[in-house]
Structure 1
Amino acid sequence: RLAMEAAATLFALLTIAILVRHAMHGGVIDTGAATLAEQAIYTLIAIGAGAILVAIDMRSPSLVLRYGSLAAGVVSVAFIVIQHFGALNPLFTDESTGRIPVFNLLFLAYLLPALAAGGLALYARDKRPKWYAAMLALMAALLAFVYATLSVRRLFKGEFIGLWSGLDQLETYTYSALWLIIGVALLTAGVWLKSQVLRVASAALISVAVLKVFLFDMSELEGVLRALSFIGLGAVLIGIGLFYQRLLTRAARGT
């Protein structure tokens, strides 16, 4: 019975993947490597499969469904790290991100998987091991970060955002401001959801932004932009300090 369940699940996913491949390549399934758009669909399928298997397992418990859902989550994370962040990243390939401002390749390849991974992390929070939900939450945060960063890049460079096209001062400053904003957003989400992973991700991102301001912005930016970079950094750090002080005060009152 377990073998039949495993085979049925595997063949269902393979069938969906083949249909996607068929549609993306005009009816031919062996015409070269996958594009980022195609890979994004595979990633969304893997995340969706993980969610479906968790839901079915909650109604009809099965080892195949349990471990299958874990495997689907791990595979989706592998896709994201290797393909989305690495091999197929338009920052490295200079692939066109599309001419449409919002609903473009970045939306499909980064924002949608971020929402899907975050949703699965929340759904599986009390249904699967802690490492599983933490892994998906971290991937969701990283995908959102990359989406926002590449969207800024696209705003300045247009549909082709290859790394070799350089940086200008305003773009450099925008990254610092954006990363600090995302760091604060992750901190807020981490406190609200009581997620240590998001709080750690927030601390890591803010630390990276601080290092960027001191090691890069100080030498690359001039005049008003340099001043704004340091003022913004100081304001965010003061705000975070006050935020944590308030949390500690509440905790002390609660005890």
Structure 2
Amino acid sequence: VIDTGAVTLAEQAIYTLIALGAGAILVAIDMRSPSSVLRYGSIAAGVISAGLIAIQHFVVLNPLLTDESTGTIPVFNLLFLAYLLPAIAAGALALYVRDKRPRWYAAMLALIAALLAFAYATLSVRRLFKGEFIALWSGLGQLETYTYSALWLVIGVALLTAGVWLKSQVLRIASAVLIAVAVVKVFLFDMSELEGVLRALSFIGLGAVLIGIGLFYQRLLTRAAREV
């Protein structure tokens, strides 16, 4: 019996992984037997994968918007299948095609991988606080809000490190954007809930964190320059 019902996020994740895998296989075959058909076919597979992720994973089938069950297992759940595995696959493909396909193609895959990893981490925090169902309309607690800010800063630093190590401008820009978003969120939302001494200490703490990130970035650049 053929199931003609709506596609679930789990099914879509499998389709996405297949498309990314097909793109990698076509590149590998093209390296052995060069062909314009294989070359453009591999690029098409990657672009289609990116489109599916942008539309289906992030919007249409996002459990934050659909309230679909993410499963009862702590780690190997729907978020793992739909966000972390595709992030790993897209990132691996981006590394594989860096010197084999146009720069924009590798950059697109790297950006998709970063966005998927960000979505996985953020939605996992949401699941930690809300449980199996993580719909946006189920509310947002104060501690949860603070956790997102800290998480985004950590991810921003991780992207910065990866961007310097891999010499990827896309990842460095993504890092800067994410850190900026986290800082704006802290100023406009998180600190609005605090008063007096706590608010002053929060400003000092945030300033110290930003200075630390700046020093860390400078050290990364210095180390990278020495290795060249």
- Point out the more displaced range, 68-77 or 239-248: 239-248
The answer to whether 1:244 aligns with 2:217 is yes
Change (3 A) 1:250 1:52: closer
Change (3 A) 1:225 1:75: farther
Q: For the residues of structure 1 that align with 2:200 and 2:132, how far apart are their CA atoms?
A: 30
Cα pair 2:149 2:186 within 8 Å, conserved: yes
Structure 2: which 5+ residue stretches go unaligned?
none
Q: For the residues of structure 2 that align with 1:174 and 1:248, how far apart are their CA atoms?
A: 29
1:111-132 deviation line (CA, Å, top 9, x unaligned) = 0000000000000000000000
- The one-letter code matched in structure 1 to 2:2 is V
Q: For the residues of structure 1 that align with 2:127 and 2:226, how far apart are their CA atoms?
A: 47
- Scaled by the length of structure 1, the TM-score of the pair is 0.83
**1:218, CA displacement in angstroms?**
1.6
- Hey, what does 2:2 align to over in structure 1? 28
Q: For the residues of structure 2 that align with 1:130 and 1:179, how far apart are their CA atoms?
A: 27
Change (3 A) 1:200 1:102: same
Give runs of aligned pairs for residues 112-191 of structure 1, distance below 5 A.
112-191=85-164
Structure 1: which 5+ residue stretches go unaligned?
1-26
Cα pair 1:177 1:232 within 8 Å, conserved: no
Give runs of aligned pairs for residues 188-203 of structure 1, distance below 5 A.
188-203=161-176
**Partner SS, residue 132 of structure 2:** coil
Following TM superposition, where does structure 1 have runs of at least 4 consecutive aligned residues deviating by more than 3 angstroms? 220-232, 244-255
Cα pair 2:164 2:224 within 8 Å, conserved: no
**1:28, CA displacement in angstroms?**
1.2
**1:231, CA displacement in angstroms?**
5.1
**1:234, CA displacement in angstroms?**
2.4
Change (3 A) 1:223 1:54: farther
**1:245, CA displacement in angstroms?**
3.3
1:168-187 deviation line (CA, Å, top 9, x unaligned) = 11100000000000000000
Bigger relative contact order, structure 1 or 2 (CA pairs below 8 A, ≥6 apart): 2
Change (3 A) 1:250 1:174: closer
- The one-letter code matched in structure 2 to 1:147 is Y
Cα pair 1:98 1:105 within 8 Å, conserved: yes
Q: For the residues of structure 2 that align with 1:251 and 1:85, how far apart are their CA atoms?
A: 34
Q: For the residues of structure 2 that align with 1:70 and 1:183, how far apart are their CA atoms?
A: 28
**Partner SS, residue 174 of structure 1:** helix
Two-structure CA RMSD over aligned residues (Å): 2.2
Change (3 A) 1:249 1:98: closer
Change (3 A) 1:253 1:187: closer
- Hey, what does 2:79 align to over in structure 1? 106
Q: For the residues of structure 1 that align with 2:105 and 2:157, how far apart are their CA atoms?
A: 24
**1:219, CA displacement in angstroms?**
1.7
- Scaled by the length of structure 2, the TM-score of the pair is 0.93
The answer to whether 1:43 aligns with 2:16 is yes
Q: For the residues of structure 1 that align with 2:66 and 2:172, how far apart are their CA atoms?
A: 32
- Hey, what does 1:54 align to over in structure 2? 27
**1:241, CA displacement in angstroms?**
1.6
**1:153, CA displacement in angstroms?**
0.2
